[in-house]
Structure 1
Amino acid sequence: MRVLKDIAVTVEERAPGQFFWLLIEAVDETGSDALHYRALRGASSPQRSYSTALTLGALELRRTTGADANG
Structure 2
Amino acid sequence: MGHLRRIAVHVDEPDPGHFFWVLMEEGDDASQWKELESAGEPHEMWLDALHAGVRALEGHAPDERIGPRMPGDDEDASPVG
TM-score > 0.5 by shorter chain? yes
For structure 1, list consecutive stretches of 5 or more residues without a partner in the other structure: none
Does residue 65 of structure 1 match 2:61? yes
- Does the aligned pair in 2 maintain the 1:18–1:46 contact within 8 Å? yes
Which residue of structure 2 aligns with residue 23 of structure 1?
23
Between structures 1 and 2, the one with greater strand share: 1
What is the TM-score with the length of structure 1 in the denominator? 0.78
The alignment's C-alpha RMSD in Å is 2.3
- Does the aligned pair in 2 maintain the 1:4–1:65 contact within 8 Å? no
Does residue 39 of structure 1 match 2:27? no
Percent identical across equivalent pairs?
35
What is the TM-score with the length of structure 2 in the denominator? 0.69
- Distance across 2 between alignment mates of 1:47 and 1:40: 19
For structure 2, list consecutive stretches of 5 or more residues without a partner in the other structure: 66-81
Q: Aligned pair in 2 of structure 1 residues 43, 67: CA closer, same or farther (>3 Å)? A: farther
For this pair of structures, how many residues does the alignment match? 65
Letter in 1 for 2:34: R
- Distance across 2 between alignment mates of 1:59 and 1:40: 14
Between structures 1 and 2, the one with greater helix share: 1
